[in-house]
Chains A and B, each alone.
Chain A
Amino acid sequence: MSVKIKHYPGEEIETQDFREGKVLFESFKPKAKYAWSAGIAISRFLEELKNGRILASTCSKCKRIMVPPRIYCEKCFKPTDGWTYVKDTGTINTFSVSFIAADASRLKEPIVVAIINLDGASEGMGIVHWLNEYGDWREIKIGMRVKAVWKPPEERVGAITDIKYFKPIKE
């Protein structure tokens, strides 16, 4: 990209060259498996999801009610002091309507994902989840009120997906 350089290296090939055997390659699928310890805060959070409740942690110094909960306050750098529940209703902070999957392939039905600021948590404390039962996606707006739709208690396993999704509500 400098006037002093006359040639830029690199030999372009096409994706189909692989299929047609025009270029040689080695294919490998890594066996990378993990079992992450959820730890103190998130273990309690997951346990409470089973009970249909959303757990937060509190900091006595900055007075924040934090969700997802943590055992330390990242602002004050001190241990958090208590646990509390927040509501399963909230407000859409922002959202996206996704027409493609993680591997960039096209989806038949779009997936709507939103950051939801939960009622009872400090301002701006959101979690990310799916939005459903919204009708026409063009009608979804930032600031819309939503509520969690839970799996039936017997189907909950202590996972974020114990909440099936959030849906818009009228108040």
Chain B
Amino acid sequence: MSEVAIIGVGCVGFRPMTPELSYKELMFEAAVKAYEDAGGINPREDVDIFVACSEDYLEGFSIFDEFVPDQLGAALRHLFTVTGDGMLGLAAAYMLIKTGQFDTVVLEAHSKASDILTYTDIVQFGFDPIFNRPLGGHPYYVAGLEMTRYLYETCTTEEQCAQVVVKNKRNALLNPHAAYGANITLDQVMHSEKLFHPLKKLEISTPADGCIVMVLASEKVAEKLTDKPIWVKGVGWCTETPSLETRDWTRAVYTRLAAEMAYKEAKITNPWRDIDFAEIHDLFAYKELQHMEALKLCDYGEAGKLTEDGLTSLNGEFPVNPSGGLLGMGYGLEASGLQKVLEVVIQLRGEAGARQIDDAEVGLAHTWRGIPTATGVVAVLSKVK
């Protein structure tokens, strides 16, 4: 069975807004970059399958799939849409190559968040229409609920959560793809407006525009086209439950189960030791900590302390979100998973410039589909086949 490699990446953004480009033109630019990066492939001839990731209400269309093919070079070719995060698309691309029927798969996800005028209303439209939606309110109250329970059960402190923001926004200053890098203090985060107590304004990622396109290939094709393939060693994904009433509010069970699947495939037994760094979904600051624990990088309740002690900083023992995370790069909606994968690829190739992690060989990418979902994806990537 063929190994699967990422052989090309292209990214436009991320920026607070992109009024000069339509979503199609944004995608075209990212696609051109990715194809060039993959050894100059021609999508009209060299690509077997195209996978696009989008949600209709984030685009303002009923069937967004219609508007995808041309700008990727996929007209009259084999393309489909996964309504989900880009890393679910990665899972699909991975499986397609593993069937042995296809050698080259293109993967796309983007955010044109600045086109959406009523973002919070759209998020709320994802709530259960009978049980939850009639309660109204800003949908991020769910994060406040979860953070409260998480702090209560794990004895994590608010300061430890705030430290994530300080770290990530500072990392983002070194990342040209980041929209919201900043040098801020713990105090500034702690004193930023409380929006959904205990969650504060600076602990919430701000949406940004951008597009990421990747080219995946079988062993055979990868080794022909590039001398720097990054291998996908394992992928796992899981949905816990859409129900707010019955989910586990402390442990991010969806991430734990997804991680177990990915680790088993990648033969990872001790994630902290076997993996060099991680890109973890940090839509809200506390989520980075909660997800670290679900990813078995430490025990429940330990992530805050590790962060406070600097172990997850760029120069720490186990860097988390060297890209600046979503707090620093900006929240790329359904592209947020590919923001994570992109950084892992750049780091493993040794192309991360000022934020390069020394001797990085194995990296972890993780995503979550945001509120109100309990769906996550985990991938282990390696420089070594």
Contacts and interface: CB of A to CB of B under 8 A. Distances in A.
A32 B116 CA distance: 8
B25 A41 contact: yes
A108 interface: no
B144 interface: no
A40 B20 contact: yes
Interface string A35-56: 1111111100000000000000
A37 B122 contact: no
Contacts, number: 76
Contacts of B112: 36-37
Nearest to A39: B22
Contacts of A147: none
Interface in A8-41: 26, 28, 30-41
Contact of B24 (A33, A34, A35, A39): A39
Interface string A59-81: 00000000000111011110000
Interface stretch (B65-73, B298-306, B332-340): B65-73
Interface residues of B, number: 32
Find the residue from A28, A42, A70, A74 having the highest chain B CB count within 10 A: A74
Given A28-B129, A28-B133, A74-B69, A35 B25 contact: no
Interface string B108-150: 0000101111100110010001100110000000000000000
Interface of B: 18-25, 28, 42-44, 57, 60, 69-71, 73, 75, 112, 114-118, 121-122, 125, 129-130, 133-134
A37 B21 contact: yes
A74 B22 contact: no
B116 A37 contact: no
B348 to A, nearest CB: 28
Given A28-B133, A74-B73, A34 B25 contact: no
A39 B20 CA distance: 6
26 contacts: A28-B133, A28-B134, A30-B57, A31-B121, A33-B121, A34-B115, A36-B23, A36-B60, A36-B115, A37-B18, A37-B20, A37-B22, A37-B23, A37-B112, A37-B114, A37-B115, A38-B22, A39-B20, A39-B21, A39-B25, A40-B25, A42-B22, A72-B28, A74-B70, A75-B75, A77-B44
